[in-house]
Amino acid sequence: MTMVEIDHLSKSFGDFRAVDDISLTVSKGEVLGFLGPNGAGKTTTMRMVCGFLTPTSGTARVCGHDVVTQSRATKQVIGYLPEGSPSYDDMSVRNFLRFIAEIRGFTGQERDDRIHRVVKRLDLGDVIERPIDVLSKGYRRRVGLAQSILHDPPVLILDEPTDGLDPNQKHEVRGLIKEMSTDKAIVISTHILEEVEAVCSRAVIIGRGKVLADGTAADLRALVPGGNLDEVFRFVTTGRQAAE
Instruction: Please report how close the Cβ of residue 136 comes to another protein at its closest, in angstroms.
Output: 17
Question: Of these, 90, 123, 197, 230, which contacts another protein (CB under 8 A)?
Answer: 90
86: contact with another protein by CB under 8 A: yes
Q: Rule CB under 8 A: is residue 95 a binding residue for another protein?
A: yes
If one asks whether residue 53 binds another protein (CB under 8 A), the answer comes out as: yes
Asked whether position 110 contacts another protein by CB under 8 A, the answer is no
d(CA 107, CA 98): 9
Options 31-39, 44-52, 178-186, 209-217: segment touching another protein (CB under 8 A): 44-52
201 and 31 in contact (C-beta within 8 Å)? yes
Binding to another protein (CB under 8 A): which residues in 177-206? none
Q: Which stretch binds another protein (CB under 8 A): 28-36, 84-92, 114-122, 206-214?
A: 84-92
Residue 104 within binding range of another protein, rule CB under 8 A: yes
Q: Which of residues 127-146 bind another protein (CB under 8 A)?
A: none
Give the burial class of 15: count Cβ atoms within 10 A of its Cβ; 0-12 exposed, 13-18 middle, 19 or more buried: exposed
Q: Quote the least distance from Cβ 237 to another protein, whole Å.
A: 24
Among 5, 41, 106, 147, binds another protein (CB under 8 A): 147
Q: How many residues bind another protein (CB under 8 A)?
A: 27
Which DSSP string do the residues of 45-84 spell out, in sequence order?
HHHHHTTSS--SEEEEEETTEETTT-HHHHHHHEEEE-TT
- Segment interacting with another protein, rule: CB under 8 A, options 22-30, 72-80, 183-191, 201-209: 72-80
Does residue 118 contact residue 98 with C-beta atoms inside 8 Å? no
Cβ atoms of 71 and 51 within 8 Å: the answer is yes
* Burial of 134: CB neighbours in 10 Å, binned 0-12, 13-18, 19+: exposed
Confirm or reject binding of residue 50 to another protein (CB under 8 A). Answer: yes
Q: Contact with another protein (CB under 8 A): which of 52, 152, 176, 242?
A: 52
**Residues in touch with another protein (CB under 8 A):** 47, 50-53, 72, 75-76, 78, 80, 82-84, 86-91, 95, 99-100, 102-105, 147
